[in-house]
Structure 1
Amino acid sequence: MNRYCTAVLALFLTAGLVLPGSALADDPEPADDSTNATSLVANAWESDNTTAAPQQDEPTLDVSFNGSLRFNALFRSYGAGQNGNFEDQADNVLGNGGFTFDTFRIGASGSYGSLIFDAEWAFYPESFGGNYIHHGWVGYEFSDARQIQVGVSQVPFGIQPYASSSWFFNNTYYVGLEDDYEAGIKAMYQANGWDIQGAYYMNSEQVDFFGASNAGRYSYDVVPSTSAGYIDTRGVTEQHQFNAKVAYSFDHGGLGFTKVGVSGQRGQLLNQGTGETDWHAAYAAHLQGRYGGFEAKLEFAQQELNPPSVTDDRFVVMGAYGSPNRVASEHNVYSSSLAYHIPVNAGPISEIKPYYDFSQVTKDVDAWNDNVNHDIGFLTSAGPLFVYTDLIISKGHPFNQPFDGTFSGVMAEQNDNEWRTAFNVNIGIYF
């Protein structure tokens, strides 16, 4: 496998050598023309028709810090029981409404000549898994159009950075196909309308090598679970994943753009107890457009996961925010998001963006119910302040489901199949 991974890395570098050279006009970072071994690689990557960057006598370290602080006002009512257990108490509190801490994130990004980096650490409530990495990578810019990132980066799959517009996200996120992050190496070419990305990820973005259960993370992955009585005990995890994404943007001048693309991924699932492996794969077709103030995102994805050495292979255990769920091993995802940007000049408010998100997950097991969500809301922008206001009506949405016996199977059998409604206001300051 090590020889295979080395060959893939060489393939990424070779692909960069043969792609045509170009530069993005809005990239401010010039290439380093100093005559050393690193610059020889960079110059080989660039073709003759790439405009030479200004020579730098000595690179300087440029660092900027960023972060966010967010709170939720969440209201939902599920008719929870009166047994006095944690699940009933939690549902009753949420049914009456609550104003709670959501997350605090701190990050830094910067460059040293053509070396670049970007990292962010997230702090959530303990019930959501505590604190963990959101992303963190170091990279190299061979030109304005080409770079490599090594570390925990966003997986090149589907519409990026998000296939949805709402705070709740579409169901693509809860099956690991939206805003996903893994640990490995990614190569990117973005110029002349093209967005071409390839990646190899050794494993998911875990921060603990030896944790028995590791669902404390930002994005959803197949995770080992040892919580007997809550969810089936199994030690299956992800490894050796390959991703490819190709998209092209059609420029409509002052009207906007249309970006169409396809994505694919394939990797291994490892049973930590037996050492056996099997494969998982996903494919997607996607379209993203901006036409004046109107914005549209459409995506269709298929995913198949084959957990090795398990009694019931109809599901895998996926987890994030400290909570594992069963997810159907074979499913289709339909995702859409429509939005409109309205400029506003009212005090600090500069824009209001109403949106409607829809997504549905259908499963290979006929007896299992679909996951469906409708989210109607709007985003209010006022300088560094962003406020999401969402009304979600859903069946089987992990963030709109009671903490009872149905919760662990919400993305698999989804037994109760009840429509539920929640209202949430997320208030975030970004700096």
Structure 2
Amino acid sequence: MLPLILWSAVCLAQYPEDKPEEKPYLKLGGAVRFNYNLSTWKEDQLERGGDFGFDLFRINAEAEYKGIKLNAEYRFYSEAFGGHFLKQGWFQYDFSDQSQIQVGLHQVPFGIQQYNSNNWFFNMTYYVGFEDDHDMGIKYIHDSGRWQWQAAYYKSAEDFVFSSQEPSPNRYSYDVTGRNKENNQLDFKLVRRLGDSLAHELGFSLQGGLLYNLDTERNGTRHAGAIHYEYKTNHSPWNVKLQAMLYRFDPKYAAGNNLNFIEMGAYGANYNVANKGEIYTLGVAYHIPVNTRLLQGVDIYNNYGYYNKRVSGYENAHMNVLGALFTAGPMYIYTDAAFGYNHPWLGPEWANAFTTGTPGDTRWHMRFNINMGYYF
């Protein structure tokens, strides 16, 4: 009898009972946002007392099954701002708690992430393609607590049409458009966290890639580098962001074309950007907890960006956003006074604000903006 019991135990050890089948995980969310703005350079808008209207509707999806994860976000804007498009979407596999791989349309590992800003307008880095940029490729992330590094390869930017025609500006983040297309880009980012609470993040980022010109059918180059610091912790109400970066675009234009700028586009429109420059940014925010039924917190912030265009005859640009974020349950309300000097979104000059500017008549302009979003 005893040998039979032992034999049965061995068999059970070798052939355990079937584990419960893993169930698929799916989480859906999104947001609806409306926007009020009043711009000092728009006389007709001043007469109306500003405008209040639709900003966006978005759908978010997160899923997981058999160890494979999905993260996607689709956005709907008005036709004037590019209509609808995929903001992000990637497949993910976690090798461990410290390392993962992402494939698809995901955030480029460059500079302070997720945002180099605290406000609704982002900072100067966003408008030349170096903040919350999303491209098509593969990325590896390793995070051990004290150290984090990311390495990525991007075959292209947010290309939704596979042809030799000009890239569409109907996209979320700024990329090279016009007669050039981004391709074969490499990124590397390293972050070292300091202090007992790991509140100090010191890092550097490197980027290099190619620019395919549709006229010459030749590849030019692009490269950028940045050093950055951020202070953030749950134990302090302060958040501080510091970043210095430089970049250069060297497209292979056809003979006779202007070599001092390149086109970039997002939200349905292109503008010109100096082909080399430096950008310095500083952001400070302070969180005030509020314990009421309607309001749970207020974040006061100021974000400044200085854009030094390293092209003779091009005027430099400035951007400063002073504001507050109000958190009320599922609602986030950004109230910003955004000031611009040679800035396409914050002034009357659109196409050449980031190149020649408006020499001899440049002045500061202000856009007062309230963005109200319900996130679900």
TM-score, length of structure 2 as denominator length = 0.90
Is the Cα contact below 8 Å between 1:152 and 1:181 reproduced in 2? yes
Partner SS for 1:172: helix
Partner SS for 1:65: strand
1:414 counterpart residue number: 357
1:308 is aligned to 2:252: yes
**Structure 1 residues 361 and 125: alpha-carbon distance in aligned structure 2, compared to 1, 3 A threshold:** same
1:265 counterpart residue number: 207
AA aligned to 1:414 is G
Q: For the residues of structure 2 that align with 1:349 and 1:273, how far apart are their CA atoms?
A: 55
Q: CA deviation at 1:212?
A: 3.7
**Structure 1 residues 296 and 95: alpha-carbon distance in aligned structure 2, compared to 1, 3 A threshold:** farther
1:400 is aligned to 2:354: no
2:290 counterpart residue number: 344
What are structure 1's unaligned runs of at least 5 residues? 1-54, 81-90, 225-234
**Structure 1 residues 95 and 276: alpha-carbon distance in aligned structure 2, compared to 1, 3 A threshold:** farther
**Structure 1 residues 272 and 135: alpha-carbon distance in aligned structure 2, compared to 1, 3 A threshold:** same
AA aligned to 2:274 is A
User: Which structure carries more strand by proportion?
Assistant: 2
1:425 is aligned to 2:373: no
2:133 counterpart residue number: 180
Among residues 18, 26, 33, which one is paired with 1:63 in the alignment?
26
1:98-136: CA deviation from partner (whole Å, max 9, x where unpaired): 001111110101211321110001111111110111000
Q: For the residues of structure 1 that align with 2:368 and 2:132, how far apart are their CA atoms?
A: 23
1:294 counterpart residue number: 238
Among residues 271, 274, 280, which one is paired with 2:216 in the alignment?
274
1:246 counterpart residue number: 190
Is the Cα contact below 8 Å between 2:347 and 2:366 reproduced in 1? no
Q: For the residues of structure 2 that align with 1:79 and 1:118, how far apart are their CA atoms?
A: 39
Q: CA deviation at 1:349?
A: 1.1
AA aligned to 1:413 is T
Q: For the residues of structure 1 that align with 2:143 and 2:323, how far apart are their CA atoms?
A: 32
Superposed, 1:15-414 pairs within 5 Å as 58-78=21-41, 80=43, 92=45, 96-210=49-163, 211-224=165-178, 235-253=179-197, 257-290=199-232, 292-310=236-254, 311-402=257-348, 406-414=349-357
TM-score, length of structure 1 as denominator length = 0.79
Number of positions where the alignment pairs a residue of Structure 1 with one of Structure 2: 352
Q: For the residues of structure 1 that align with 2:65 and 2:105, how far apart are their CA atoms?
A: 19
AA aligned to 2:181 is T
Q: CA deviation at 1:95?
A: 6.7
1:382-425: CA deviation from partner (whole Å, max 9, x where unpaired): 121000000112102222122xxx31011111124221011000
Q: For the residues of structure 1 that align with 2:79 and 2:325, how far apart are their CA atoms?
A: 27
Q: CA deviation at 1:318?
A: 0.4
Q: For the residues of structure 1 that align with 2:132 and 2:119, how far apart are their CA atoms?
A: 13
Q: CA deviation at 1:191?
A: 1.8
1:73-113: CA deviation from partner (whole Å, max 9, x where unpaired): 10112155xxxxxxxxxx64797400011111101012113
What are structure 2's unaligned runs of at least 5 residues? 1-17
Q: For the residues of structure 2 that align with 1:162 and 1:266, how far apart are their CA atoms?
A: 21
- Root-mean-square deviation (CA, aligned residues, Å) is 1.7
Q: For the residues of structure 1 that align with 2:240 and 2:45, how far apart are their CA atoms?
A: 37
AA aligned to 1:284 is A
Moved over 6 A (4+): none
**Structure number with larger C-alpha Rg:** 2
Percent sequence identity over aligned pairs: 36
Q: For the residues of structure 2 that align with 1:218 and 1:245, how far apart are their CA atoms?
A: 22
